[in-house]
Structure 1
Amino acid sequence: MDESPNCAICNGPATPECPCESDRLQIAVKQAEDRAMQARLQEIRDWVVSHARQHILNAFERLSSARKQSTAQYLGSLPYYSVYVQYSGRPPIHPMHLAPLQAQISEAHADLKRGIDADWRSSVLRYPEVLDYFYSLVELRLPSPTSPRVMEPPFATAGYADAGYGHVRVKKEKKKRRERSEREGSAAPPDYAREHMYTVAGRMRGPPPVPTPPIQPGYPTPPPNAYYNHGY
């Protein structure tokens, strides 16, 4: 006789080809993870993204600041540049000197823009590395296998007293028997009901009155109401 339980889902034979329990287990695990971890995962995600974004912005700021400083130094070294800035791009210098200066300034600004774009791109492309680093700082600790909370969870502390299907079935059977007994009692004939009431009343109030014992030979027959005359 095969004592292996049938599949809990389809009630078919528990064979490796039956995927019901495995599939339902995966669904149950996913649902349990969502209930237990969703809020924590969101908190961890927000923390990691916040720190990673701030690091990327800080790194880009350092790169772009250094590039802007280098460009400013280059422009300051150009002839007539200070006069150009003083007169807001309309310096009183000969056009022969103004044209090359304007071309150098324009090229320097273009180089600065290309450099800033490159710095931003290189900073953003580091997100995977930066995210991995900050995620690695998050500590996920599993409880010890010998922890009382692991060894004796609430459902084990009760001795695995299952109040599931069997408990419900027994309660339903008791309820059915009680209802059937009540229906049969309410449908009983009047004489049976009175007899039943009398019996219950007799058990509650004591035995029924015992008849007067017969008179033994040799004793005179007492007159009527003799017992009442003596206070009985």
Structure 2
Amino acid sequence: MDTSPNCAICNAPANPECPCESERLQIAVKQAEQRAMESRLAEIKDWVISHARQHILNGFERLTSARKQAHSTYLSSLPFYSVYMQYSGHPPIHPTHLAQLQAQISEAHAELKRGIDADWRASVLRYPEVLDYFYSLVELRLPNDRSPRVIEPPFAAAGYADRGYDHSRIGKEGKKKKRREREPSAAPIERGRGNREEHMYTVVGRTRGPPPVPTPPIQPGGYPHPPGFYRYQ
């Protein structure tokens, strides 16, 4: 007698070629993965992109800063450049020298722009390397196979009867137990009430017992009998 269970999806006899359970398992895995990992992956992606972009921008700023400094140094070294700047581009110098200076300045500006474009391109092309680095810093940890949480998951506590998986019941028993532990019983309260009368207490750094009860005054001849009190003969 073949005791292998039928297909849980189509109820066909056990057959290795039946794709129903495998296909449904893949669907369930994708759905569970989406529920468990979608928000975490989005958070990781945002973190990686933010740090990678900042690193690329910082590197680009360092490159352009050095290039602009070299550009400024070169312009300052040109003949008549200080006079050219002093007269806002219209210095009182020979037209030949002025034309030559303007050509040198124009070429220097063009070279600076080409250099900045090259720096930006080199920086952006480093994104794959930078992204790989920051993704490598993210730590993913699997639980130990011997962990009680792995061996005895909450949905296995009541056995594997065919009753479905009720998410709402998880944790309720633990909450009830904690609530019972937080609620004090009546007996300890009564016992504590009696013990409080015998506790020592501190006043201005000194420890002493409870204050003495004052002694009632003694009347001459004793206390009168209360009304309705009769002596036995």
Question: What's the TM-score, normalizing by structure 1?
Answer: 0.68
Q: Which structure is higher in helix share? A: 1
Q: Confirm or deny that 1:143 pairs with 2:143.
A: yes
Match of 2:68 in 1: 68
Q: Please give the alpha-carbon distance, in whole angstroms, between the structure 1 residues aligned to 2:10 and 2:161.
A: 25
Q: Secondary structure at the match of 1:159?
A: coil
Match of 2:99 in 1: 99
1:15 CA displacement:
2.4
Match of 2:47 in 1: 47
**Superposition map of 1:146-157 within 5 A:** 146-157=146-157
Q: Please give the alpha-carbon distance, in whole angstroms, between the structure 2 residues aligned to 1:16 and 1:85.
A: 86
1:40 CA displacement:
0.8
Amino acid at match of 1:73: T
Q: Please give the alpha-carbon distance, in whole angstroms, between the structure 2 residues aligned to 1:147 and 1:113.
A: 61
Match of 1:119 in 2: 119
Q: Secondary structure at the match of 2:140?
A: coil
Moved over 4 A (4+): none
**Superposition map of 1:161-176 within 5 A:** 161-164=161-164
Q: Please give the alpha-carbon distance, in whole angstroms, between the structure 2 residues aligned to 1:57 and 1:131.
A: 14
Alpha carbons of structure 1 residues 81 and 7: separation in structure 2 relative to 1, 3 Å: same
CA offsets 1:82-101 (integer angstroms, 9 cap, x no match): 11111121111110101111
Q: Secondary structure at the match of 1:9?
A: coil
Q: Please give the alpha-carbon distance, in whole angstroms, between the structure 2 residues aligned to 1:22 and 1:87.
A: 82
Match of 1:172 in 2: none
CA offsets 1:54-95 (integer angstroms, 9 cap, x no match): 000000000111111111111111101111111121111110
1:129 CA displacement:
0.7
1:160 CA displacement:
2.5
CA RMSD of aligned residues (A): 1.5
Q: Please give the alpha-carbon distance, in whole angstroms, between the structure 1 residues aligned to 2:25 and 2:163.
A: 21
Unmatched 5+ stretches in structure 2: 165-233
Which one has more relative contact order, counting CA pairs under 8 Å at least 6 apart?
Answer: 1
Q: Percent identity?
A: 82
CA offsets 1:137-158 (integer angstroms, 9 cap, x no match): 1111111111111111012222
Q: Please give the alpha-carbon distance, in whole angstroms, between the structure 2 residues aligned to 1:70 and 1:158.
A: 75
Amino acid at match of 1:123: S
Match of 1:14 in 2: 14
Match of 2:226 in 1: none
Q: Please give the alpha-carbon distance, in whole angstroms, between the structure 2 residues aligned to 1:117 and 1:54.
A: 18
Unmatched 5+ stretches in structure 1: 165-232
Indicate the structure (1 or 2) with the bigger Cα radius of gyration. 1
- Give the number of aligned pairs: 165
